[in-house]
A and B are shown apart, each in its own frame.
Chain A
Amino acid sequence: MIRGSAAAVLAAAVVVALVVGLGSGQGAWAQGSGDKPKDPFDGRLSVSGNVGLEGRLFTQSSLFSSQKRATVSLDGEIELVYRFENGDRFTFKPFGRLDSADERRSHWDIREAAFLLRLPKDFELRAGVSKVFWGVAESNHLIDIINQTDGVESPDGEDKLGQPMLMLTLAKDWGTLDVFFLPWFRERTFPGRSGRLRAPLYVDTRKARYESKLEQRHPDFAVRFNKTIGKLDLDLAYFYGTSRDPALVPALRPSTGEIVLVPFYPLIHQGSVAAQYTTGPWLLKFEGLYRHGQPDARGVRDDYVAAVAGFEYTFYSIFKSKSDLGVLMEVHYDQRGRNAVTPFQRDIFAGLRWTANDAEDTTVLFGVVQDLQEGGTRGLFVEASRRLSGHFKLELEARFFNSRNPRNIFYGLRRDDYVQAKLIYSF
């Protein structure tokens, strides 16, 4: 059922991509001659998007026989933006993926379907399905909480599901205030049985349980204040509602006798702060949170604090070339220590970002996350990208996981090292 609809979305995406892409490409060149004078910011309907073809090769044999060594995946996304004459707009952005191996990774989602209305007195209202990002850190997005993680997309957790919301913004010289009403909860997605990069036990998402009797209908609230004071950007936020991070509770499936994991979504309170101080080539970053109501690995729901602090320093024009080299370092702390349900409980991240500053926008990011409590637990990754033409881009990625501790999240991924190449067509 899901596979069928995903296929339909993708087929449509590919067709639209090719038709619109070719059209808009020529249009872009035609606009270059400047024959049609119109307000450059007030186009009516704009169509853009991308289609990606991705190949993954796992370097080790799998833990489970149903998992594959090589997978191929096709994904697509279209973004339609309609601008009204008064500056309001409607954005519609469906996404879909077809995966050769994992039936759950073949999925689709409405990433955005929202009105953005500009109201008097510097108020702004976003109504519909949308996406919001909070935070400053690079290696883990600790305080980011509005959107649920699309867990089948990438192990970096940066892909998010569309979140239904009413978001009222007041932007003034004294700062920006966002108030969120989130009327519907999105459950996290998990890889299927034949998918790799998953927990050793199968996550039975259909049995998901909630603390709130209202389950997915529980209304969540959030408020965020953001202010720039010279070199300092400061974010303060508060969230009350269903946690985006489920506790995974082992349960016996009576029909098969199999032990599975059942997601449990508790109600939580979270206060958070994010700050970045930008001076010269330095970016100094901090994210911290206080959370109440979240069960730890033992199921104990003690309040806890967690934080990430670090920096990014950039050496410009290295070796008299046009390229820059950024050095990144971030330290992760979680009060729960070994009982934390995150790979970032006591870890250090170090990375190098090389930016060629060439016409192809070539960049390479290398990083390592080292556990500070277990010497043998670490993750390594390399991400590289280069533009091939006005429409095509190539992305390369490799991730390696190491752990000897069965309680660490990286342990479940220890045989899931992979290299990946992705060709993206944008229109």
Chain B
Amino acid sequence: MQTLYRNPRDRCLRGFILVAGAIVLAALTSAITTLAHAETAEAKGLAIAVEADKRDLGWGDTKAKLVMLLKNSQGQSAKRQMRMRLLEGKGDGDKSMIVFDWPKDIDGTALLTWSHKSGDDDQWLFLPALRRVKRISSSNKSGSFVGSEFSYEDLSSQEIEKYKYKWLRDEACGKLQCFVINRYPVDKRSGYTRQETWIDKTEYRIHKIDYYDRKNSKLKTLTFANYKQYLGKYWRAHLLTMVNHQTGKSTALQWQEYKFRTGLGDGDFRRNALRRAR
């Protein structure tokens, strides 16, 4: 080793090797960091979704009343009123029973949904005039729910597995600080390429979702307001407003009279329960 130091040419060579090594190392490091960074944005997005989901575990069952106000671009409105029963899924998606009270011509119509973490949900419709229970297709994710600006996928049970995630940035949302993440629907029949979602850092509640259609242009914005906490743990928004930017129409969805752990069980979410849903 000593001999090398004696030769200036050797020193020169050593310097060159060092510099080259440093460059390679720097390049490598930066590549690794970039890679690690990219992984972080997606892992971070997923981690946020997982945490939000974890904080909402164990609510059991819910009863609530819903009022929807559908407004067209001229400001004319129509009302939908329904009651909802929900049962938290164990291992699979949640089960829901929706009974319509208004408008009067669909009074007593009931919709039973067994949602699944992957694949289509199972759905049955009860038509009271014929006393008929009909299994219906649930593949129309992007279809309008009772003529409103909400589609079936907007209202269906939000499972971790239904999206891929990416953290975008942190920013203020009102008085709070929010994570902003993108949710990319896994289902090819979803009406969206992505959903830009604002989730607050303190309680992991969703405050806003921007929906981007298949052409990646902004289609709708959903805002969540009037959050209340139940059982000292579970946060529920009581006013959801969906605005369609492309048509100027909007739907306000009010949740009322939330009740938790009312003693509902699987027996209240079977096909035969549709007949006594009203």
Contact = CB atoms under 8 A, between A and B. Distances in A.
Nearest to A131: B131
Interface string B116-135: 00001010000000111111
Given A41-B83, A116-B276, A359-B147, A228 B140 contact: no
Contact of B257 (A34, A50, A173): A34
Interface stretch (B60-68, B174-182, B196-204): B60-68
Max chain A Cβ within 10 angstroms of own Cβ: one of B104, B271, B273: B104
A359 B70 contact: yes
Contacts of B104: 21, 48, 50, 390-391, 426-427
Interface in A373-427: 387, 389-391, 393, 424, 426-427
A282 interface: yes
Nearest to B249: A359
Contact of A122 (B83, B107, B131, B267): B267
Contact of A81 (B139, B267, B278): B278
B185 interface: no
Interface in B75-107: 78-79, 81, 83, 85, 101-107
Interface residues of A, number: 57
B272 A176 contact: yes
A133 B133 contact: yes
Given A37-B257, A41-B83, A158 B130 contact: yes
Nearest to B255: A34
Contacts of A122: 267
A324 B140 contact: yes
Given A40-B65, A176-B272, A283 B137 contact: yes
B266 interface: yes
Contacts, number: 128
Given A41-B63, A173-B266, A426 B85 contact: no
Contact of A133 (B106, B132, B142): B132
A357 B135 contact: no
B136 interface: yes
Interface in A12-26: 21
A254 interface: no
Given A133-B132, A233-B135, A387 B105 contact: yes
A247 B242 CA distance: 58
Contacts of A89: 276
Interface in A42-57: 46, 48, 50
Given A176-B271, A314-B137, A39 B143 contact: no
Interface string A253-287: 00000000000000000000000101111110000
B205 to A, nearest CB: 21
Contacts of B64: 40
B72 interface: yes
Given A37-B257, A89-B276, A358-B147, A48 B107 contact: yes
B259 interface: yes
Contacts of A303: none
A226 interface: yes
Contacts of B30: none
B236 to A, nearest CB: 14
Nearest to B70: A359
Contact of B139 (A31, A169, A233, A280): A280
A213 interface: no
Interface in A351-374: 357-361
Nearest to A116: B276
A76 B4 CA distance: 109
B271 A314 contact: no
B131 A324 contact: no
Given A316-B140, A322-B143, 7 more contacts: A31-B81, A40-B83, A40-B257, A89-B276, A176-B270, A279-B120, A361-B105
Interface of A: 21, 28-29, 31-32, 34, 37-41, 46, 48, 50, 81, 89, 116, 122, 124, 131-133, 136, 158, 169, 171, 173, 176, 226, 228, 231, 233, 276, 278-283, 314, 316-317, 322, 324, 357-361, 387, 389-391, 393, 424, 426-427
Interface of B: 63-65, 67, 70, 72, 78-79, 81, 83, 85, 101-108, 120, 122, 130-137, 139-140, 142-144, 146-147, 254, 256-257, 259, 262, 266-267, 270-273, 276, 278
